[in-house]
Amino acid sequence: MAKTTVSLIKADVGSLAGHTVVPQPLFNVANKKLAEAKKEGIINSFYVFNAGDDLELLMTHDKGENSSEIHGLAWDTFKAGADKAKKLKLYGAGQDLLKDAFSGNVKGLGPGVAELEFKERGSDPIVVYAADKTEPAAFNYMLYKVFADPFNTAGLVIDPKMSGGFEFEVLDAYENKTVTLKTPEESYSLIAIIGTTERYMVSRVLRSEDKEIAASSSTTKLALIAGQYVGKDDPVCLIRGQSGFPAMGEITMPFLHSYLVAGWMRGSHWGPFMPVGLKDSKCTVFDGPPRIVALGIQVSNGELASDDDGKPMVVDIFADLAFDMARREALELAAALRRMGEFEPARLGPEAMEYTTLPSVLKKLEPRFKAAG
């Protein structure tokens, strides 16, 4: 049987009122472009949504991962969105399109990508995560909980199809190298590296037993591409659920509570991750707090399962009172951190600040430093 690919490709191509939210005209551009591509048979189905100021293109097709046709389609769609944003003089128009020309793959050009290619099972539920005002390593903690923590994922203990554990592929963003670690055997070593969120990020998770792909996460480091701060690489992640993978409720379980991630205002602060429904997917206070949306989808015969009118059916998972406690915790953490202003640990450490505008502030002071006696 042919394989199906789910591609989630995102970029900030301009937003309304600073870096707050993707406005309707940009949705219109993206929906039109992807509807044309569907008609031409390039993709089978699509759903356009936003995480704060990031435009998210969720597509299904049969072209595999890293397809130049699919990445080219996303690039052209972002370009068209950026043109519209420029016309409207929206903020940060074209912000994440760091290069002028497309060269076969959007990786390294600015947009973030998560893709899953798999042979369809009897039924294929997937959780689609998209976050704003944070970075890919923000998913390290969540992915560890989902795939390696039996206190989060009951299936690791109860379901024999999962007891062989999972393998984590981790990217060292400084050295551009990957390492694969197997849980539960190497859990401690895994935490030793992915706990360093500044440098290491989980790129993929495979089921150990049969090497079946379980999760895929975007791993761009915009700052490392551009050499300066150009907005955080607001990340996306796709996770397969049920029947030998974590249940949907085990995948979303880490968001019963909030936890701290790097990003928020000017990409320079620790902030609480706040799970929100699509209607609250906009970054407001102190440009945040960092927000995450979760969509539940079913992949069905190469398409997103659709209703009678052909509209993809999507569950807006965090638009639920079960996540109220995490939201309240997030706001309490936000208040505590913001009370500290620009003092560490509320502000990120010096390595992360290298890529912000802080070094140019410090440069001005340089000539005034005298040797201490």
Give the Å distances, CA to CA, from 296 to 92, 121, 128, 248, 266: 30, 17, 6, 8, 30
Apex 275 CA angle, 358 and 178, nearest 5: 60
Take residue 243 and report the two structure tokens written for it. 């029947």
* Interaction of residue 267 with ligand F6R, rule CB under 6 A: yes
> Considering only 85-93, 144-152, 191-199, 352-360, which stretch makes contact with Mg ion by CB under 5 A?
85-93
Rounded CA-CA distance 57/22 in Å is 13
* The only residue of 61, 145, 204, 266 in contact with ligand F6R, by rule CB under 6 A: 266
The answer to whether residue 282 forms part of the interface with ligand F6R (CB under 6 A) is no
Place of tokens 């791993």: 219
Residues in the chain: 373
CA distance 36 to 55: 18
Q: Of residues 10, 12, 47, 132, which has the active-site annotation?
A: 12
Among 12, 115, 124, 250, binds Mg ion (CB under 5 A): 12
- What is the chain's percent helix, strand, coil content, to nearest 5? 30, 30, 40
By rule CB under 6 A, what string of x and - marks binding of each residue 128-167 to ligand F6R?
-----x----------------------------------
Give the whole-angstrom CA distance, residue 315 versus residue 97: 30
Answer yes or no whether residue 233 interacts with Mg ion by CB under 5 A: no
Binding of Mg ion by 96 (CB under 5 A): no
Q: How far is the CB of 264 from ligand F6R (least distance, A)?
A: 7
Q: Binds 287, which of ligand F6R, Mg ion, none (CB < 5 to 8 A, cut-off by type)?
A: ligand F6R
Selected catalytic residue, list 53, 232, 233, 234: 232
Residue 347 DSSP label: B
User: In the numeric block, which tokens belong to residue 61?
Assistant: 């097709």
Q: Is 141 a catalytic residue?
A: no
Contact 275, 331 (CB under 8 A): no
Of 231, 244, 254, 312, which lies in the binding site for ligand F6R, with binding defined by CB under 6 A? 231
Structure tokens belonging to residue 332: 């309490």
Q: Which of residues 273-292 bind Mg ion (CB under 5 A)?
A: none
Note if 12 is an active site residue: yes
Which one of 56-64, 150-158, 215-223, 263-271 is the stretch in contact with ligand F6R (CB under 6 A)? 263-271
The entry of Mg ion, ligand F6R, none near residue 54 (CB within 5 to 8 angstroms by kind) is Mg ion
- Told to check if 19 binds ligand F6R by CB under 6 A, we report yes
Binders in 178-217 for Mg ion, by CB under 5 A: none
Q: How far is the CB of 347 from Mg ion (least distance, A)?
A: 19
Q: Which range, of 53-61, 171-179, 194-202, 262-270, touches Mg ion by CB under 5 A?
A: 53-61
Which residue, 117, 79, 160, is CA-closest to 1? 117
Q: Which of 5, 7, 19, 173 is close enough to bind Mg ion by CB under 5 A?
A: 19
Out of 229, 233, 287, 355, pick the active-site residue: 229
Q: Exposed, middle or buried: residue 314 (CB in 10 Å: 0-12, 13-18, 19+)? A: middle
265 sits near ligand F6R (criterion: CB under 6 A): yes
Active site residue 229: yes
Sign of CA dihedral 131, 136, 138, 144: positive
Q: Is residue 271 within the footprint of ligand F6R (CB under 6 A)?
A: no
Q: How far apart are CA 360 and CA 11, in angstroms?
A: 27
Name the 3-class secondary structure at 116: strand
Both tokens assigned to 13: 């191509």
Please list the active-site residues.
12, 229, 232
- Chain positions contacting ligand F6R, by CB under 6 A: 18-19, 133, 231-232, 265-267, 287
